[in-house]
Structure 1
Amino acid sequence: MKYIVVTGGVMSGLGKGITTASIGRLLKNRGYEVTAVKIDPYLNIDAGTMNPAQHGEVFVLSDGGEVDLDLGNYERFLDINLKSLHNITTGKVYRNVIERERHGDFLGATVQIIPHITDEIRHCIDRAAAEGINGGRVAEICLVEVGGTVGDIESMPFLEAVRQMHGEHAPQDMLLVHVTLVPVDTMGDHKTKPTQHSVKALRELGLQPDIIVGRSSEVISPQTKKKISAFTDVPVKAVVSAKDVPDIYQIPVELEKEGLADVVCSYLALENREPDPAWYRLVSQEYTNRATVAIVSKYGIEDVYISIKESLKHAGRALSTEVNIRWLDAETLDLRDLADVDGILIPGGFGQRGIEGKLRAIRYARENKKPFLGLCLGFQLAVIEYARHVLGIPDATSEEMGPGTHVIALLPEQEEIFNLGGTMRLGNCTVTLREDTMAARLYGKTEIVERHRHRYEVNPAFIGDLEDAGLVFSGACRDRMEVCELPDHPFYLATQFHPEFRSSPTNPSPPYIGFVEACKKSRSATGIR
């Protein structure tokens, strides 16, 4: 097993996750099997109970793991399915060590950060690296992203574990990549001091970077690279420029131009094969159409819905259609803002805030024949809206929202749950689709696997009445409704599952393909440009 460890300096949010995923893509394009591990230094066991407005999207893995959004980027870039063990947190590490101490596994030893915590971190990394890819063979290369910024107190045990690993592996089996900020001043010059200080902090921990990836708004000049090289003892060829690009999937293209893959293969003694150009062709296609989609949400932060945003991009690229997103606040929604969009999307979420605005948007889409896609909570709200305005139950609501007629009810197995973390219906589920429905046509089959993250379901007592009133439940997982649609509508589809969690540039999600195709047709029909 060869390891590529990615650390970050200067500030958070530089794009370590995208850099890590892009390095993996470069190697995958050369035919190497790659897996990935994300280290998050927070004390939470996982990301499940975190406020998405603060932390960003909670991504759900196939085994139900609720993890940082960077693992979603890994899956999308690398076309792999990761598991909970691929996300290592301080909470998990300390819990494991304390449980072992309580069990007596340390035979009376004083339990300390070194060696017990660092040994556990290394064990977690090795175990994740050894997990077969998509249920198959073990990867040849494991990417390890260390979250946070060098110098953070929280990251110290993880960086110490990396130092120990570095000392025990052969030079050609472990590579350290350091991502830093190279800002541009008002005179247009690149400043290297932040990188110098960041590498100095890394060296103080006993780690010398092999490659420096400099994030900047502009391409870093050869002179600046030489200066960084002189101060950091990193060869000039291993100082790589990573400038801002309009689409994250173009980053591997830019890093390929910078020769990063050649340097990585050289350091790790890998055969530098000719890269498969399929990915580069895919992400470099020009759009011939355009569509505008309104996403009605209560969060004003796009990272909360990053998988949705990327899935629209995947579908748009497959259909040669540039998808422009118009973010609308559900609490202050003006229906006039929906008049000139080509489609309406209602994402998942929790709580009462903004619910009535989302319901108004769904009704608008249904009555005005506007393409509509509902996801998780969006599916539940589609059922509530239909119950209110077609079935004639004016107080129809969800048990989550309070008093009323609960056409959406708490899942029976959730009734006795008091701890919130990791207790929802999570991960993969096999869904059976009804033949001769839009859902079955989109997927091209009647049995699919999708991922879930929810506590509520369509109340079984109302399913028959809703279907008699014209709402078609076209998919179910055993006796739980998973998909609803309207046959007399250009595109009206809602899913209890999250199809965006399985979408990638090379394998766009079928519901998103159908939705974007309908939006494209809607735009053409209205003549909007």
Structure 2
Amino acid sequence: GEFLGSDVQIIPHLTNLILKKIEETAKENSLETMLIEVGGTVGDIENSYFIEAMRELALKNKVVFIVLVYVPELDVVGEQKTKPTQLALRSLMQTGIQPDFIVTRSTNPLNKKAKEKIALFANLPVERIIDNHDTSNIYTVPMNMIECGFDKQLLKELGYEDRKPNSEKLAAWSDYLQRSNTGKPLKIAVVGKYVDLHDSYVSVNEAIVHASATCGAKTKVKWIESETLEEIEGETAHALEDIDGVIVPGGFGSRGITGMIKAIEYSRVNKKPYLGICLGMQLMAIEFARNVAKLEDADSTEFNPSTQNKVIHIMEDQKAVTEKGGTMRLGSWPATVKKGTYAFDAYGSEQIHERHRHRYEFNNIYRESFDKLGLRISATTPDDRLVEIIEWKDSFGIATQAHPELKSRPERPAPLFVELIKHAMM
């Protein structure tokens, strides 16, 4: 065999494979510097061989070890406890790794006493203990790192003392921060089924932040559990009456669907700006079918396989697939946008690409009848086979089968989110 009959071991065989992958990646991409993140906690069995590989990597290459630690704070006495950090550093050093920098995570700024104690146990000067405490805006973190001199220290350690920061990019970032902290107050509701853990929709939340900064708005997100709109009569109007715009994000399964449809209906009737994403597009079509086209049993075959009006149905090439996961329509796909639509206003182009993760699609037999009633198809796949974006004709309501939030960045906000914020500000 490949190992000539010898026992295959974690060390050196698995660690050598890790090192080989790192070296090949660096060589293939002509990398000057590589950032490698080892997840987990020091002492975990799962990452122990990766930590050993990093130790071996440092024997032949210039490696800077930056350790991220958590410093808890007891609210009762207001004391920052460094003992967990001390134990973590001791465990790490026992693997043969001496950290070059410690980045601390804490609720409040790290006090001098805690910083000195961590430096003592890390065998480091105090200035190499980098404070990264909680902030109301995560995008201030890079500027905080620059303020404490972390960038200069790191560049020096890597042998790049002569490198100068890009003043234009720093100015643009500062401008972005300024815009994200000021602007017209807005309130956007995200109506979903996983809102108990906001991180379930972290990309949606960040896309709202990016678009708001671009438009000069300071947006507060109101998280609404869709099931609560089902349980109490009149709760939808109560929950959404002070809202400037509504988003229904992606999801799977029938739980909470009725509440999301109620939110979409309220948005359409009251002309509240609306953005639907993936499931949010499918439910926009179902709501329109039930309440405007008067197809009372209109549904998705995902929720009701026996419905007579299959407004949303499974894609032909997915009908034989029963397991959820990697068989769905995944990745970036092209779409053609029609001029004279909200979608074209958002993208400013007829040809776009967005990322997807779904198996169900809009049923094409309803295209013509829905268009006559006020729901138009504003984007399709280039072959016109699949519907990509739909929208209301008489007020701003738009939904996409894609996940535009996944491509949103501070300097390149997702166009559909920008368009939502613009209309919410009107």
Q: TM (normalized to structure 1)?
A: 0.74
For residue 340 of structure 1, what is the aligned residue in structure 2? 242
Amino acid at match of 1:273: K
The answer to whether the Cα contact below 8 Å between 1:250 and 1:284 also exists between their aligned partners in 2 is: no
Question: 1:218: Cα distance to partner?
Answer: 2.0
The answer for the alignment partner of 1:283 in structure 2 is 177
Partners of 2:368 and 2:22 lie apart in 1 by: 50
**What residue in structure 2 maps to residue 308 of structure 1?**
204
Q: State the match for 2:423 in structure 1.
A: 518
Q: Name the SS of the counterpart of 2:259 in structure 1.
A: helix
Please list every run of 5 or more consecutive structure 1 residues that lacks an aligned counterpart in the other structure: 1-103, 133-137, 522-529
RMSD over aligned Cα atoms = 1.7
Question: Is 1:167 matched with 2:63?
Answer: no
Is the CA contact 2:374–2:394 (under 8 Å) kept in the aligned structure 1? no
Of 386, 398, 405, the residue aligned with 1:480 is 386
Structure 2 spans left out of the alignment, 5+ residues: 230-234
Equivalent residue of 1:445, what SS? Answer: coil
Deviation at 1:423, TM superposition (A): 1.4
Bigger relative contact order, structure 1 or 2 (CA pairs below 8 A, ≥6 apart): 1
Aligned residues: 409
Counterpart residue number, 1:244: 134
The whole-number CA distance in structure 2 between the counterparts of 1:373 and 1:124 is: 42
Match of 1:112 in 2: 9
Q: CA–CA distance in 2 between the matches of 1:469 and 1:107?
A: 72
Q: Which residue of 2 aligns with 1:497?
A: 402
Alignment of 1:200-211 (within 5 A): 200-211=90-101
CA drift of 1:378 comes to 0.3
Contact kept? 1:408, 1:457, Cα under 8 Å: yes
Measured against aligned partners, the alpha-carbon deviations of 1:15-74 in whole angstroms (never above 9, x if no partner) come to xxxxxxxxxxxxxxxxxxxxxxxxxxxxxxxxxxxxxxxxxxxxxxxxxxxxxxxxxxxx
Aligned to 2:232: none
- The correspondence for 2:293, drawn from 391, 407, 419, is 391
Matched, 1:298 2:193: yes
What residue identity is the alignment partner of 1:500? Answer: E
1:431 equivalent among 298, 317, 335:
335
Q: Does 1:121 align with 2:26?
A: no
Which whole-Å CA distance do the structure 2 matches of 1:337 and 1:131 have between them?
A: 54
Q: Which amino acid aligns with 2:250?
A: G
> Residue 150 of structure 1 aligns to a residue in which SS?
coil
Match of 1:135 in 2: none
Between structure 1 and structure 2, the one with the greater Rg is 2
- Of 170, 176, 180, which residue of structure 1 is paired with 2:65? 176
Partner Cα distance (1:255, 1:457) in 2: 45
Shift of residue 107 of structure 1?
4.3
Task: Decide whether aligned partners of structure 1 residues 130 and 378 sit closer, same or farther in structure 2, where only a CA change above 3 A counts.
Answer: farther
Structure 2 counterpart of 1:359: 261
Q: Is the 8 A contact 1:430 1:450 kept in 2?
A: yes
Among candidates 471, 484, 487, match of residue 375 of structure 2: 471
Once the two structures are superposed, what CA deviation does each residue of 1:299-347 show, in whole Å capped at 9, x if it has no partner? 1110000000000000111112111111111111121211111111000
Q: Aligned-pair distance for 1:129? A: 4.6
Tell me whether 1:450 sits opposite 2:354 in the alignment: yes
Aligned to 1:196: 86
TM-score, normalisation: structure 2: 0.92
Q: Distance in 2 between matches of 1:191 and 1:272?
A: 37
The aligned runs of 1:147-158 (5 Å cut-off) are 147-158=39-50
Q: Deviations 1:163-183 (Å, cap 9, x if unpaired)?
A: 1112221xxx31110011223
- Residue type at the aligned position of 2:199: D
Take 1:516 and 1:249, find their aligned partners in 2: how far apart are those partners? 20
Q: CA deviation at 1:439?
A: 0.6
Q: Residues 307 and 187 from structure 1, CA distance in 2 versus in 1: closer, same or farther, beyond 3 angstroms?
A: same
Residues 1:406 and 2:322 are matched in the alignment: no
The Cα of 1:268 is off from its aligned counterpart by 0.3
- Counterparts of 1:358 and 1:123, CA distance in 2: 49
Determine what percentage of the aligned residue pairs are the same residue: 38
The structural deviation recorded for 1:127 is: 4.6
Amino acid in structure 2 at the alignment position of 1:415: K
